[in-house]
Structure 1
Amino acid sequence: MEIQRVILNNIGLFENLEIPLAPTEQNPSNITVFVGNNGAGKTSVLKALATSLSWFTARLRTEKGSGNPIPEDAILNTANAASIEIEICDASGTSDNPNQNEIQHHFKWTLAKNRTGRKSRYTSHLNDCTRLANRYRDALTRDHKTRLPIIGFYPVERVVLDIPLKIRTKHTFLQLDGYDNSLSQGVDFRRFFEWFREREDTENESAMPEDVLNQLKPLLETNPDAWQRLNELNASAKDRQLTAVRTAIRQFMPQMDNLRVRRKPRLHMAIDKNGETLNVAQLSQGEKSLMALVGDIARRLAMLNPALENPLAGDGIVLIDEVDLHLHPSWQRSLCDRLIATFPNCQFVLTTHSPLVISDCKNVLVYTLTNGELQQLPSQYGQDANTVLLDVMDTSIRNQKIDAELNDLLDAIQDLKLTEAQQLLAKLTEELPANHLELVKAKLLIRKQELRHANH
């Protein structure tokens, strides 16, 4: 399942905005990224998509389920009504007849909202939403383990990581529970912890504990075949859903491995970082937020695709606001590539303030939002961060005052005003580090000009 386009009428800052989403012919990746200043409307686009998709998940659960309405405060200030039109492509469960497929796997629905006491300009049309939901309901009726798409929205507030010491409310973890809070809360780490513990308890009943396996290793080293067979049996007993979560986290954070629940000295979640066992609570905020985000996507994919050999190969739509939040630049740089590698069949719609997110992955579709207008950007792949800051994000690469003084220094050197240049250099030397690259260049240029004029 993937969104092909969305049309926003009087939503947020946008009077009428049509947005095609990747993959497209020119941008074959499954990632669309929105950039823009704070208040440009990036979050409004994601919230509109989440609002529209909530009707699909609601009608997948129950035949006449209702999703989230468009909030009245999301309507353009000067407008009386608003609408969200969404076009979905979903080829799952279609017949082998190509003429039928073209019609059957396209779905389009409209969600409308008018201000209280105003006449409605737009009308909701949700027949195709119901038709798409019924397709999956029919498939579930035939096969209770049929594949379901992930639908998830991770807002900025996802960074809160609450690891409970006690489980006070018992939840169920049936297949459709993979949609619980998926469009309203982001990372539900309490439920993640409860789910992980429950599955790990089942896993431990059938698999040999790791410490026992380590004790047996010296005894079986003389019989490699027996040791290999024991490992194979133990691996086959590993829970497939837990394996998906552990694999996803390791893919994003190679130094992290073996996520697990420990009960001593008290109930907690542990992980190995560079070979050292740590309580997850000891990790940095960036490590915790990335682990929680990736782990939650993997968990939902695993729940929604119980029969899939590799649940990470499941498909669906994931919306992430400020995807670079709390992440080290090296992680920002590889983020899109790792999303594609770890969740190859998911469509991602992201927002970011980081030039590294959009300059280090090929074929991503990048839009910039400015004053309610949308502009598609040419590929930024291979561009340095400074160029992206200047050209895309309209941000100076250094402090504006220092930048102006450096430009004055270079102009003085070029105009052969060497006394003035020396004075400007002395002033900047007091403010900047001695090894500042631009100052080193200026010193060399001044010396070169002095030598040239001394020879005349």
Structure 2
Amino acid sequence: MEINRFKVTDVGRFTELDIQLAPTAKHPSNVTVLVGNNGAGKTTLLKSLATSLSWLVARIRTEKGNGNYLAEEDIRNGASSALILIGVVDESHARSSRSDANPEDALFTWGIARGRQGRKAHIHSSLGDVSLLADHYRNELTADDKASLPLIAYYPVERSVLEIPLKIRTKHTFDQLDGYDNSLNRGVDFRRFFEWFREREDSENETGVSDTALAEISEKFGNDSDIWKTLFQLKASSRDRQLTAVRSAIAAFMPGFSNLRVQRKPRLHMAIDKDGVTLNVSQLSQGEKSMMALVGDIARRLAMMNQPLDNPLMGDGIVLIDEVDLHLHPKWQRSLIRQLTETFPNCQFVLTTHSPLVISDAKDVLVYVLDDGELQERNGLYGLDANQVLLEVMDTDIRNSDVQQRLNRLLERLQDGDLDAAKKLFSELSLELPEGHLELAKAALLIRKLELRRA
């Protein structure tokens, strides 16, 4: 399942905006990235998508379920009403059986409308198609209570990594439909992740061998003993498929990290091995915890909702992430989209970012630049360096504007052959900028060439 296009009318700062999402004929990737300055409307668009999709989640749960509504403050200033239209295509549930049908006929299209109080509304919500699509999934669950469901999740910029609880005070269920719990209104929930992980691991240990028992056997008899090898093989054969999916997803995103687990001694905590050293997860950096929580939550929900699959990470769905680069080291930003598409190949991603590294290192990604309520598609960003993306896409200087102006004047003096003025500017900049500055090194070579020419 994927969103083909959506349209907002008088929502936020947008008068009317019609957006097609990847994959498209020109952009076979399943990733769309929205770029723009603060206040450009990126979050408004993601929230609009989340609002529309909440109705599908609600009606998969119950036939007459209600999703989220537009608030009055979502209506554009000066407008009397607002509308979000979304078109979804689902290959597993054909909208039309005719082979010659118009591509638009294959879309499940529904709209969420809101009128301003005291005004006569000329538009209304239309929810026929969302009920029809939800019916398909409920029929499948009726026929097979383990039938796969699409992941639908929104991770807002306010997402936070909560401290992992030492005690579980409230017992939760983790049935298939619970994969939708808080999926569109809270984002990352490390507390729920820990509770789910602990329950699955307890079940895994009941039918197999725990990590603690294996470690004790290793300490007593060694890893070369027959008893350790037998128990290790028994543990490998009894691995929980859902936990394996989560562990493998985290390992793919975080090289050097492995063996995520719950430890009971000296006190209850979640542990992970980092470059061979065992750490309490709470000891990780904010960026490491953020990455683990985000990836772990996506993998956990996919695992819960795709129980029949040998590899639950192959499940499909729609994932919306606001400021996907939040808290991440540039090295992780650069590989983020590639890892998302490789680890979750059947999920459609709609992302926002302020990082040039995110959008310049992934091929076939559809990038839109938002500016003053308008949308512009940008192509050919793959392989550009970060400075080019900052200048050409994000309309941002690559360095301090005062320094850049003085470097520009230095280059102009050199091009004009004004050696004395160039040497004076060079001397002033050399006192302020760090040794080995690339632009100054180039200028030094040009000054030397000019001096030799004069000589």
Alpha-carbon distance in structure 1 between the residues aligned to 2:96 and 2:355: 44
1:267 corresponding residue in structure 2: 268
C-alpha distance after superposition, 1:308-327 (max 9, x if no partner): 11110000000000000011
Is 2:413 aligned against 1:439? no
The unaligned stretches of length 5 or more in structure 1 are none
Matches within 5 A, 1:170-189: 170-189=171-190
Aligned-partner residue type, residue 437 of structure 1: L
Larger deviation, residues 362-371 vs 116-125: 116-125
Distance 1:227 1:450, change over 3 A: same
* SS of match in other structure, 2:99: helix
1:71 corresponding residue in structure 2: 71
Aligned-partner residue type, residue 365 of structure 1: L
Alpha-carbon distance in structure 2 between the residues aligned to 1:270 and 1:228: 23
Matched-pair contact (CA < 8 Å) for 2:214–2:228: no
Alpha-carbon distance in structure 2 between the residues aligned to 1:103 and 1:449: 65
Aligned-partner residue type, residue 79 of structure 2: A
Matched-pair contact (CA < 8 Å) for 2:333–2:357: yes
Distance 1:9 1:95, change over 3 A: closer
Alpha-carbon distance in structure 2 between the residues aligned to 1:132 and 1:104: 14
1:219 positional shift: 7.1
Distance 1:219 1:322, change over 3 A: closer
Residue-pair matches, total: 452
Alpha-carbon distance in structure 1 between the residues aligned to 2:391 and 2:380: 15
Alpha-carbon distance in structure 2 between the residues aligned to 1:40 and 1:203: 48
C-alpha distance after superposition, 1:108-153 (max 9, x if no partner): 1111101111111211110000000010000000000000000000
2:126 corresponding residue in structure 1: 125
Matched-pair contact (CA < 8 Å) for 2:209–2:234: no
Matches within 5 A, 1:24-423: 24-94=24-94, 99=99, 106-213=107-214, 215=217, 221=224, 231-423=232-424
Matched-pair contact (CA < 8 Å) for 1:30–1:364: yes
Distance 1:369 1:230, change over 3 A: same
Alpha-carbon distance in structure 2 between the residues aligned to 1:188 and 1:95: 35
C-alpha distance after superposition, 1:272-323 (max 9, x if no partner): 1111000111000000001000000000001111111111000000000000
1:210 positional shift: 3.2
Aligned-partner residue type, residue 377 of structure 2: Q
Larger deviation, residues 431-440 vs 247-256: 431-440
Aligned-partner residue type, residue 451 of structure 2: E
Alpha-carbon distance in structure 2 between the residues aligned to 1:191 and 1:131: 31
Alpha-carbon distance in structure 2 between the residues aligned to 1:181 and 1:274: 33
1:23 corresponding residue in structure 2: 23
Matched-pair contact (CA < 8 Å) for 2:154–2:319: yes
Alpha-carbon distance in structure 2 between the residues aligned to 1:219 and 1:358: 49
The unaligned stretches of length 5 or more in structure 2 are none
C-alpha distance after superposition, 1:246-271 (max 9, x if no partner): 11000000111111111222221111
Alpha-carbon distance in structure 1 between the residues aligned to 2:28 and 2:61: 32
Aligned-partner residue type, residue 21 of structure 2: L
* SS of match in other structure, 1:159: coil
- The normalised TM-score by structure 2 is 0.95
Alpha-carbon distance in structure 1 between the residues aligned to 2:84 and 2:339: 31
CA RMSD of aligned residues (A): 2.0
1:233 positional shift: 3.5
Alpha-carbon distance in structure 1 between the residues aligned to 2:107 and 2:230: 49
Distance 1:100 1:135, change over 3 A: farther
1:227 positional shift: 7.8
C-alpha distance after superposition, 1:219-266 (max 9, x if no partner): 78487xx98775443222111111111110000001111111112222
Percent identity between the aligned chains?
62
C-alpha distance after superposition, 1:383-403 (max 9, x if no partner): 111100000000011110000
Matched-pair contact (CA < 8 Å) for 1:3–1:21: yes
- The normalised TM-score by structure 1 is 0.95
Aligned-partner residue type, residue 136 of structure 2: R
Aligned-partner residue type, residue 31 of structure 1: V
